[in-house]
Amino acid sequence: MEFVQCILFVAVIISPICATEKSETNPFIGNLVNDTDKIDPYNSTRWTFTQSESLVQFLWTDMDGNAEAKYVPDYSPAVIGLPFDFNLFGQNIRKVEVMREGGIRSADPEQWWVAVPLKVGEFGLTPCEIKFLLKGASLSIQWQYRPQESCNTVNSDDELSYQLKIHANGSIDFVYKQIPFGNLKDFQVKFPDVGSKFGVSYQYKVPASFDTFTLGLHMNVNETDIKDNTVVSVRPQPQCTTFRSLTSCMVGAKNANISCAWCSKAEICSSKRDFLGEVWMENGCDCPRPLQPEIYSWLSGTTITFIIIGMTLTVLMVVSLIAHYYINKVREDLYRLTKDKSIGPLEFKFDTHHATQWTMFNSKKVAEELWVNMDKENGVKTVMNHIGPEVIHLPFEFQFFDLNIRKIEVLKEGGVRSADPKTNWFMIPVTVGKLGLTPCQIRFFFKVPSLAIQWKCREHCSMEDQSTELSFQMSLFMTGRIEFIYKKIPFGNLRNFRANFADIGQKIGVNYRYELPKLNTHFVLGIELNVDELEIEENTVINVKSRQMCTNYRTCGSCLSEKTKYLTQLDCYWCRKLEMCTSLRDFLGDFWESCDIFTYEQPFCGEILYQGVTEKDDSDYIESFFMMYYAATAISMLILIVILVIMFRLGCFINFNFDFIHHQGGRGRQGRQ
């Protein structure tokens, strides 16, 4: 009996909901509720303007003298990993990028959103300090601006200070503590470099189409009265569109006390009266006109029972495939593992040219997840050449700055370097000299899209004593991310270990020689760290990622493509004379004055963007095998989805009591709101 109840429950969950909805009314009539409240055009957020010194004191986070407060690095945006899910219009955000000119934005190129309390340009005002503090389920960021060359003064009447606070429930607060010259309008007159707009924007993408909607609100400073001790609170409104799955559309809508319906074709949850109403109608999301009972009279109770069982098994198969995919994917995304409470906020650094970001933390749970158990994996290979480096061909392109690397040299003393004499780069997690320690075992394992290499070093390889064993792993990912994982380190940490074995190298890190042939010069990108200045213990993880920059693109077409602009979130410019791509703010910006001819639109490149076929080697066939495997898996899942869609259509007029019911789908309003 319990098995039958379980089957009936699954059937109810996966059947689409097409019943008529109750009339939905907005609790706020019109855009302007009163002098202090506004609703955005899509009714997705409510904005409250309050001038209260006591409220500002309550919301303002005092970061002066707080040891937990962190500083944003100078002249560069900073990515902050959140220890909580920031629910922004139905998306759970785990990392944000802080902008020096004021505000935050998405750190994920697949998403686009921005929250700006005020935007300040590069001239006239100087961002003296930008600090942030994570406390519970909220993040506070503070900007302080003063006129140029006055940051070191104790007090300044011209200081502009405000904070932005985000909360796990999606609420956002702009807290303006000190506004010189009375209010923002007058302040902007004195400093025209201050932006004229502020607000919150989020680009909602309809999953099954190319439709996008910009939610939120952007307001003009001149149309508001923002002065000292002003708080602008942005609160998300309960809407069906925030639910992104069938289950959340059913359960979440019920908990929020709103009426919603799920459209499996468009993959949207809508009340049919919100901004997705026209998308609902265009995709024919309403259930088809009910059929006459004699047409489907062949559906007996036994047949429907088998259909329900088949649907249950199909769902279990799909879930198992998805689970398998995400288990393999977990090593690709570091932030999936940062739910471990022992990690806390991520500490990060940038190199001199802001081309790489370095992150270091210690967590036994994360280290064990990232460490590849090569004793249990199939396809593990051993580095056989103990005299010199061994060349490994990658079954994928490793994106490293402007390079697409297909082969590397593995060094027995620890690390890898370029196998191409035309390029100069290396990656060193630890350097072990020829005296004292011996590399007993070096193994590597491909797990597309990554490569893991492990070194195991001892004082005497033939002895069973493991007290001096040093074991570490380096992983390369197709996206350009590099991981150093330290499994075993004798004497407590690497610094003490080096004191006992002097031939352990002092430097670790990533280094790349970026050549600029037209000027006969080069730049050293990457980060080199001193072991004696770091606390590298067992279960320490170091993550190095080359940043998306204009300088990574070496042709006019790739420099000015829409894809590049999307990935870098920058405006790139192409210098024909020097054959370089720059955003004017990166390390190549100083050479821009030498460019007599520059291009910022792709049609003027006058080149063939994609040309050339390279000769295939063994690694290409390995990659083809994995592509065939993923293609076969995708086709199998597509067939399962088609079966589910057919069953969903039956679910429009069959309920779990085996009775025929007729749903009359309600029509939403036509057009975009």
Q: What is the pLDDT of residues 421-449, one digit of tens each?
A: 889 999 999 988 766 677 888 999 988 78
Whole-number Å distance between alpha carbons of 271 and 243: 11
Residue by residue, DSSP assigns 212-245 as EEEEEEEEEGGGS--BTTEEEEEEEPP-GGG--S
What's the burial of 343, exposed, middle or buried (CB within 10 Å: 0-12/13-18/19+)? middle
* Segment 99-119 mean pLDDT: 86
Residue by residue, DSSP assigns 495-536 as HHHHHH-TTB-SEEEEEEEEEEGGGTEEEEEEEEEEGGGS--
Question: Any idea which of 70-79, 450-459, 524-533 has the lowest mean pLDDT?
Answer: 70-79
The pLDDT of residue 31:
34
Q: Kindly give, in sequence order, each residue whose CB lies less than 8 Å from that of residue 183, ignoring residues fewer than 6 positions away.
A: 225, 226, 227
The pLDDT of residue 663:
35
Whole-number Å distance between alpha carbons of 291 and 286: 14
Q: Which residue has the higher pLDDT, 604 or 356?
A: 356
3 state DSSP class of 647: helix
Residue 337 placed within a domain: no
pLDDT in tens, 148-183: 656 666 566 677 888 899 998 889 999 988 888 888
- Is 145 found in the same domain as 80? yes
Number of domains in the chain: 4
Q: How many Cα atoms within 13 Å fall on the side-chain side of residue 550?
A: 26
- Is 57 found in the same domain as 161? yes
- Is 274 found in the same domain as 198? no
DSSP H stretches of helix in 118-190: 184-190
User: What are 401's two structure tokens?
Assistant: 């700055």
3 state DSSP class of 7: helix
* Segment 306-329 mean pLDDT: 67
- Is 476 found in the same domain as 357? yes
* Segment 585-601 mean pLDDT: 79
Whole-number Å distance between alpha carbons of 557 and 654: 55
Whole-number Å distance between alpha carbons of 633 and 448: 15
At 631, the pLDDT band (50, 70, 90 cuts) reads: low
Average pLDDT, the chain: 75
Burial of 280-307, coded b for 16+ CB within 10 Å and e otherwise, reads: bbebebbbeeeeeeeeeeebeeeebeeb
> Where does residue 80 fall: left (phi above 0), alpha (psi -120 to 50 degrees), or beta otherwise?
beta
- Is 520 found in the same domain as 447? yes
Question: Any idea which of 73-77, 285-289, 651-655 has the lowest mean pLDDT?
Answer: 651-655
The pLDDT of residue 32:
33
Question: Any idea which of 15-29, 69-83, 336-350, 550-564 has the lowest mean pLDDT?
Answer: 15-29
What residues form DSSP beta bridges with 204? 213
- Is 358 found in the same domain as 377? yes
Residue 150 placed within a domain: yes
Residue 314 placed within a domain: yes
pLDDT in tens, 38-66: 888 888 888 888 888 888 888 888 888 78
pLDDT above 50 for 317: yes
pLDDT in tens, 389-431: 889 898 888 888 888 899 999 988 889 999 998 899 999 999 8
- Is 535 found in the same domain as 400? yes
Is the dihedral angle over the CA atoms 270, 274, 280, 286 positive or is it negative? positive
Residue 623 placed within a domain: no
pLDDT in tens, 279-290: 888 888 875 544
Residue by residue, DSSP assigns 342-359 as TT-SPEEEE-TTS-EEEE
Tally Cβ neighbours within 10 Å of residue 251.
13
3 state DSSP class of 523: strand
Check: CB of residue 581 under 8 Å from CB of residue 595: no
User: What are 427's two structure tokens?
Assistant: 């990656």
- Is 541 found in the same domain as 556? no
Distances (CA, A) of 288 to 603, 648, 663: 47, 12, 9
Domain extent, residue 405, equals 347-547
The pLDDT of residue 510:
92
Burial of 378-410, coded b for 16+ CB within 10 Å and e otherwise, reads: eebeebeeeeebbebebbbebbbbbbebbebbb
Amino acid at 490: P
Whole-number Å distance between alpha carbons of 394 and 409: 11
The pLDDT of residue 126:
72
The pLDDT of residue 647:
57
The pLDDT of residue 331:
43
Instruction: Say which residue the tokens 């939610």 belong to.
Output: 215
- Is 426 found in the same domain as 383? yes
Residue 169 φ/ψ, nearest 5 degrees: -80, 5
Instruction: Say which residue the tokens 């370097």 belong to.
Output: 417
**Strand residue runs (E) in 284-324:** none
Whole-number Å distance between alpha carbons of 230 and 59: 11
Calculate the CA dihedral of residues 49, 51, 53, 59 and round it to 10 degrees: 0
The pLDDT of residue 443:
92
3 state DSSP class of 510: strand
* Segment 319-339 mean pLDDT: 52
The pLDDT of residue 651:
47
User: What are 337's two structure tokens?
Assistant: 């593992």
Helical packing angle, 618-651 and 301-329, nearest 10°: 150
The pLDDT of residue 172:
93
Residue 667 φ/ψ, nearest 5 degrees: -100, 140
Q: Kindly give, in sequence order, each residue whose CB lies less than 8 Å from that of residue 441, ignoring residues fewer than 6 positions away.
A: 382, 454, 455, 456
3 state DSSP class of 329: helix
Residue 637's Cα: distance from chain center in Å? 26
CA angle 431, 436, 441 (to 5 degrees): 65
User: What are 339's two structure tokens?
Assistant: 């739910």
Check: CB of residue 38 under 8 Å from CB of residue 214: no
The pLDDT of residue 305:
64
- Is 21 found in the same domain as 166? no
Q: Kindly give, in sequence order, each residue whose CB lies less than 8 Å from that of residue 10, ignoring residues fewer than 6 positions away.
A: 308, 311, 312, 315
Mean pLDDT comparison of 17-26, 73-82, 507-516, 561-570, highest-scoring range: 507-516
- Is 111 found in the same domain as 189? yes
- Is 145 found in the same domain as 126? yes
Residue from 396, 413, 457 nearest 624 by CA: 396
Whole-number Å distance between alpha carbons of 159 and 228: 11
Share of the chain above pLDDT 70, in %: 72
The pLDDT of residue 30:
34
Tally Cβ neighbours within 10 Å of residue 609.
12
User: What are 560's two structure tokens?
Assistant: 């000015």
Whole-number Å distance between alpha carbons of 181 and 183: 6
Residue 619 placed within a domain: no
The pLDDT of residue 4:
40
Whole-number Å distance between alpha carbons of 598 and 580: 10
Residue 335 placed within a domain: no
Distances (CA, A) of 666 to 16, 280, 284, 663: 15, 11, 12, 9
Q: Which residue has the higher pLDDT, 644 or 105?
A: 105
Residue 435 placed within a domain: yes
Residue 541 placed within a domain: yes
The pLDDT of residue 115:
92
